[in-house]
Structures are given as structure tokens and as C-alpha cells.
């Protein structure tokens, strides 16, 4: 309980630093007294609306690995803490997608469901098992290959074992996964949302601005990333279900999702479209192909008027954001390995910047164990602690 109060105190102090003119100093003193009394009597405390909204924004600002957090104050927050039925959760998530997509002018948005009860060993009230609310399936083939996204292979198989039954002709490289929603720790129910509401997908067919052959690859991607398996922590209170989205930076799609060998591994096919010499890596065919793939991504999103960042503009925006933070109490922390883009790294300002790697624990986003995790620590070989995971 003492640790929870310390984290709550740190959060309220941050709130006071960033919103000094929003209220008189006595307000913060009284609020801390109220929080302390609540923790002493119940073992926890409840955020009011103002704290929930600011806390979600501050957690984004504190996220060391996010290059787009200079827009942290623009986050839209949906308070879903009272929602607890499967259908109501599903409807809230649909509302989130519609609001966030905003006809292509994507809004950063978060939906926050019930917090974890620190006094109880009961299962979380609401959990979403999907990594992202919009994600493509990965189907294991008889020859050992994967149709679709290899990253989704295990989750796809779990959905198939749990009543998801797409028709054979629906199994493609870009089959949207259903939602797996668990209430009160019960086995997750499968919601094939995009079969019922395909308009929620908002996919972008990819084409190259100059190369007609590229279109024959029949590639596409969805409009926005919407992470759904991370925990939000505000002042020590854990919200295990708090799906959130920003908008893409082009390299996330063109240099990672579609290009990584462990993902779609499309560089050889792109190189073929451009008649590149793939016999030796010294021809730099991979470098040339990845640039053209990223050009196609940016061109296609711009064509469809869907917001997307490029790695040059986004890193310069982040650089300016860091320069404006002159108050040491509001210092910017960061993880260099995530803030440097995967292509043309040395041509972006983040490449030559240094960042404080300290992870703010009281208010942030963290990875969490899957709800059905059977992993057990052993005294002989305890797992290494990661600052980006819930302890």
C-alpha cells in the first residue's frame, strides 16, 4: 500500500507540474489526503475523470519507445470503466475505431476499461487477447510456410481452435483476425467483427507512383495501428485493458511489417518488379527495394487521404519537441533503438541524439503477461527483469 501511495503521489506531482494553472495548490494537497485515506481503508483508490484523462496522456508522453508522443496532449480518452459485458465491450471498440479513423484524418485515441483490483486475485474484468484490434491472420500451410502474417500464427491457431471458422476462400495473405474478448477471466469469446462490419477495416491498397508492375503484387495494409494487449498504469493503478492508437509512420509498414524476413518478406518480390540484381547483396538490391516499397506505402496513403507520417518529418518533429523541454522536471526519456527509424537512420536527427533510458514507472504503458500464461519463475533461473514489463 505504501508503494501505491508513492506512485500516486508522483503522478499527482506530475499533474501539478504540467497543469499548474488549472487549480489552486490546496486542491492537490486535499486530493493526496483523499488518496492516502482511500488506500489505507481499501488498499486502492479511484481516479476521477480529470486524472484519468491526464494520466492517459502523460503515460503516452512517458513512453520511451514512441516517436510520435510530441502530440501527447491531443489524445482523445474514452472512459469505459463501467463497461463489462462482451457485447458492450465490442460496441465500445467499434466506436473507438470509427472515432479514431475520422475519415482518414486519424485521431490518437484510447479506451480505458476497468482497473485491476490490487486487493484481489480475481481475473481482470476485461481483457483483449489480440495484439492489435486490426491485424492479419497467419495460416500454417502443409509445406511449413505461412499464408499471411507469421507474427499472427499462434494467435490465429488459437482462434481457429476456439470456434473461428473462416471459409477456405477467405484465407488469404490479408485475412483480418477476429477479436478474442475475455470477461472475468473466462475463456475468450470470438467476435468475427470484420466479417460483420468490413467497413471498419479501412484498408489501403498499395501501388507505386511509377511502377505498374508493383500493383500486381496485390498488397494492402490497414489504416492505423491499434494496440490492445498492453497495460496502462496511472499513478500505480493498473488498467489491463486500454486499447490505444496513433497513426502510422510509413517505415512501420514498408520497412518492418511487409519487409522483415520474419514477417511478409516481400523485398525479393519488390526487387523483381524493378528488375534489380538479387544475385548478390553487394548490388544493394535490398536497400533499393525497401526504399521503393516505402515510397509505395506513403504514396498510397496520401492517395487515399489517410494520415501517415514519414521518418524524416516525424523525427524532426520529435527533435523540436525535445528541444522545447527546458524544465528538468519534464525531461524527455527515450529508447534510442526504437526512436531511430529502420531506414536512412543517419539522415534523421534522432540518430545523433542521446536519450535518458530511465522508464517512468508510476504512469506509463507496459507489456503484461498473457491472461492464460502458465510461465512460472524458478529460483534456479529467474527471468531477466525488463523495465518495459509490469513487475
Q: Which residues are the active-site residues?
A: 66, 69, 247, 252
Residue 152 grid coordinates:
499472427
Q: Do 339 and 328 meet the contact criterion of CB atoms below 8 Å apart?
A: no
| Strand order, beta sheet including 226-227 | 76-79, 109-112, 244-245, 226-227
Give rounded-to-5 percent helix, strand, coil for the chain.
Answer: 40, 15, 45
In the three-class reduction of DSSP (H, G, I as helix; E, B as strand; rest coil), residue 145 is classed as coil
Residue 45 grid coordinates:
483508490
333: β partners: 356
Planar angle of CA 66, 67, 69, nearest 5 degrees: 70
Planar angle of CA 265, 268, 274, nearest 5 degrees: 135
Cα Rg for the chain, rounded, in angstroms?
22
Nearest to 174 by CA among 154, 196, 202, 197: 202
Please state, in angstroms and rounded to a whole number, the distance separating the CA atoms of residues 41 and 45: 9
Please state, in angstroms and rounded to a whole number, the distance separating the CA atoms of residues 56 and 245: 12
Please state, in angstroms and rounded to a whole number, the distance separating the CA atoms of residues 364 and 234: 7
Label residues 108-135 b or e (16+ Cβ within 10 Å = b): bbbbbbbbbebeeeeebbbbbbbebbbb
Residue 351 grid coordinates:
540518430
Amino acid at each position: 500500500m505504501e508503494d501505491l501511495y508513492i506512485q500516486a503521489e508522483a503522478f499527482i506531482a506530475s499533474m501539478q507540474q504540467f497543469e499548474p494553472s488549472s487549480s489552486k495548490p490546496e486542491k492537490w494537497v486535499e486530493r493526496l489526503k483523499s488518496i492516502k485515506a482511500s488506500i489505507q481503508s481499501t488498499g486502492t483508490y479511484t481516479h476521477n475523470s480529470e486524472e484519468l484523462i491526464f494520466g492517459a496522456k502523460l503515460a503516452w508522453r512517458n513512453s520511451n519507445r514512441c516517436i510520435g508522443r510530441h502530440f501527447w496532449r491531443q489524445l482523445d480518452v474514452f472512459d469505459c470503466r463501467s463497461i463489462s459485458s462482451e457485447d458492450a465491450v465490442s460496441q465500445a471498440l467499434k466506436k473507438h475505431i470509427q472515432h479514431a479513423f475520422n475519415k482518414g484524418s486519424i485521431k490518437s485515441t484510447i479506451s480505458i476499461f476497468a482497473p485491476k483490483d490490487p486487493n484481489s486475485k480475481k481475473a481482470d474484468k476485461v481483457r483483449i487477447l489480440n495484439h492489435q484490434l486490426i491485424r492479419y491472420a497467419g495460416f500454417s500451410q502443409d509445406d511449413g510456410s505461412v499464408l499471411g502474417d507469421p507474427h499472427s500464427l499462434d494467435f490465429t491457431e488459437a482462434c481457429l481452435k476456439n470456434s473461428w471458422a473462416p471459409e477456405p476462400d477467405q484465407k488469404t495473405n490479408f485475412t483480418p483476425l477476429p477479436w478474442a474478448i475475455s470477461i472475468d477471466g473466462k475463456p475468450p469469446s470470438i467476435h468475427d467483427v470484420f466479417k460483420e462490419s468490413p467497413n471498419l477495416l479501412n484498408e489501403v491498397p498499395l501501388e507505386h507512383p511509377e511502377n505498374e508492375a508493383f500493383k500486381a503484387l496485390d498488397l494492402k495494409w490497414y489504416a492505423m495501428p491499434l494496440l490492445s494487449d498492453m497495460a496502462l498504469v496511472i499513478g500505480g493503478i493498473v488498467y489491463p485493458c486500454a486499447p490505444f492508437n496513433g497513426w502510422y509512420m510509413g517505415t512501420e509498414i514498408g520497412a518492418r511489417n511487409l519487409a522483415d524476413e520474419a514477417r511478409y518478406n516481400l523485398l525479393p518480390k519488390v526487387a523483381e518488379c524493378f528488375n534489380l540484381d538479387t544475385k548478390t547483396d553487394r548490388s544493394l538490391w535490398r536497400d533499393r527495394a525497401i526504399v521503393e516499397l516505402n515510397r509505395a506505402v506513403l504514396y498510397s496513403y496520401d492517395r487515399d487521404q489517410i494520415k501517415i507520417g514519414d521518418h524524416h518529418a516525424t523525427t524532426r518533429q520529435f527533435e523540436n519537441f525535445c528541444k522545447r523541454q527546458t524544465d528538468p522536471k519534464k525531461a524527455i526519456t527515450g529508447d534510442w533503438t526504437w526512436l531511430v527509424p529502420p531506414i536512412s537512420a543517419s539522415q534523421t536527427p534522432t540518430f545523433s541524439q542521446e536519450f535518458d533510458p530511465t522508464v517512468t514507472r508510476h504512469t506509463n504503458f507496459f507489456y503484461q503477461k498473457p491472461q492464460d500464461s502458465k510461465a512460472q519463475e524458478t529460483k534456479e533461473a529467474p527471468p531477466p527483469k525488463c523495465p518495459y514489463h509490469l513487475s
